[in-house]
């Protein structure tokens, strides 16, 4: 998690461990959601998950051509329990809230967990809170922050926007159908922020990253559009090498991903601040995906 300083709304309410109301409501919401996931109960998962998150999860699953809702519960590890974790604080800003915990967060994958940070996000308010997402912060590279949190010093949380509710409930995305072709966007952008939008549906943000994300809606036959914007981050030189690529993913075992789009800069080259380009999925590409070429 990148530490940043920002000016926050004055309406943020901080609830200590001794206060009643917000903390138990948020924990009840999370525990109900977690129980639904552990029991693999689609109806309960629908009831306990924020609407925008439900649609994001459904769209991602359909974009990977997996079965919904069964794939909701196809997780590498169960959601962690809050039992044994130290409650740090709960915060509400309008119809958004966050609860932060510190301790040995156990994902049930073996080994001995170390002390780290877990931030849970919720939306709702008067009508009840719904679970949104969890952010796990590995503090191995932040030993001083680990010491601060262990002692009850919450300065790191106060300086980290990701640990504070924004007050803005994300809009619910439009629903996409099953993808025609599974696609992923890959970005390597040290020292830069890169935003990518594909077919005016799938939006992605990468900051000082080397990672790939699933293209929501996938790629379609024929012409596909790639829009991107690039800006230098604080600490970057503006001369770093950079890559944006789109790959099509085959459903046939042994067939490698097919690169259908690339915008690449050598070190020292000057990027365009933004651009719109296209790639085409033609019959020859479809044949390669099917392993016929």
How do residues 180-223 score in pLDDT, each as one tens digit?
Answer: 999 999 999 999 999 999 999 999 999 999 999 999 999 999 99
What is the spatial distance between Cα 84 and Cα 81, in angstroms, rounded to a whole number?
Answer: 8
Q: Rounded to whole angstroms, how far apart are CA atoms 186 and 243?
A: 8
Which pLDDT tens digits describe the chain residue by residue (293 residues)? 333 322 233 334 444 433 458 999 999 999 999 999 999 999 999 999 999 999 999 999 999 999 999 999 999 989 999 999 999 999 999 999 999 999 999 887 777 889 999 999 999 977 899 999 999 999 999 999 999 999 999 999 999 988 999 999 999 999 998 999 999 999 999 999 999 999 999 999 999 999 999 999 999 999 999 999 999 999 999 999 999 999 999 999 999 999 999 999 999 999 989 999 999 999 999 999 999 87
pLDDT tens sequence across 67-80: 999 999 999 989 99
Determine the Cα–Cα distance for residues 274 and 277; give it in Å rounded to an integer. 10
pTM: 0.86
Find out if CATH 3.10.450 is the number for domain 13-163: yes
Q: Give, in order, the Cα–Cα distances in Å from 163 to each of 1, 85, 120, 160.
A: 10, 17, 9, 6
CA atoms of 120 and 279, how far apart (whole Å): 39
Buried b (16+ CB within 10 A) or exposed e, 39-75: eeeeeebeebbbbbbbbbbbbbbbbbeeeebebbeee
| Full DSSP string of 141-202 | T-HHHHHHHHHT--HHHHT-GGGS--S-PPPPPPP----SBEEEEEEE-TTEEEEEEETTTE
Return the C-alpha torsion angle 63, 69, 70, 71, nearest 10: 30
Can you give the residue ranges of every domain in the chain? 13-163, 182-289
Provide the mean pLDDT of the chain. 91
pLDDT of 10 reads: 32
| E-state strands within the chain | 13-15, 86-93, 96-104, 115-123, 130-137, 182-188, 192-198, 202-207, 210-214, 222-232, 242-249, 258-265, 274-281
The reported pLDDT for the residue numbered 9 is: 34
Q: What are the structure tokens assigned to 58, written together? A: 């459904």
Give the model's pLDDT for residue 20.
59
**What's residue 6's pLDDT?**
29
Give the distance, in angstroms, between the CA of residue 132 and the centroid of all CA atoms in the same chain: 11
> Could you give the CA distance from residue 29 to residue 46 in angstroms, rounded to a whole number?
12
- pLDDT at res. 124: 93
CA distance 242 to 169: 33
């Amino acid at each position: 998690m990148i530490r940043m300083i920002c000016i926050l709304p004055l309406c943020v309410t901080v609830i200590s461990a001794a206060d009643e109301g917000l903390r138990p409501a948020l924990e009840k919401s999370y525990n109900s959601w977690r129980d639904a996931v552990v029991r693999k109960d689609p109806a309960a998962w629908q009831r306990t998950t924020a609407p925008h998150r439900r649609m994001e999860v459904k769209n991602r699953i359909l974009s990977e051509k997996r079965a919904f809702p069964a794939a909701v519960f196809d997780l590498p590890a169960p959601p962690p329990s809050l039992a044994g974790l130290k409650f740090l604080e709960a915060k509400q800003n309008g119809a958004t809230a966050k609860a932060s915990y510190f301790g040995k967060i156990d994902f049930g994958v073996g080994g001995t967990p170390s002390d780290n940070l877990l931030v849970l996000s919720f939306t709702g308010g008067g009508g009840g809170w719904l679970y949104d997402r969890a952010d796990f912060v590995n503090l191995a590279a932040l030993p001083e922050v680990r010491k601060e949190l262990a002692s009850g010093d919450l300065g790191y949380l106060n300086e980290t926007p990701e640990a504070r509710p924004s007050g803005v409930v994300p809009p619910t995305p439009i629903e996409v159908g099953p993808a025609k072709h599974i696609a992923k966007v890959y970005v390597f952008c040290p020292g830069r922020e890169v935003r990518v939008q594909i077919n005016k549906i799938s939006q992605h943000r990468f900051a000082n990253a080397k990672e790939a994300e699933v293209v929501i809606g996938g790629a379609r036959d024929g012409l596909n559009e790639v829009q991107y914007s690039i800006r230098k981050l604080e600490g970057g030189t503006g001369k770093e090498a950079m890559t944006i690529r789109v790959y099509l993913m085959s459903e046939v075992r042994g067939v490698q991903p097919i690169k259908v789009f690339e915008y690449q800069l050598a070190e020292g080259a000057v990027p365009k601040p933004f651009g719109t380009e296209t790639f085409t999925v033609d019959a020859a590409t479809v044949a390669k995906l099917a392993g016929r070429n």
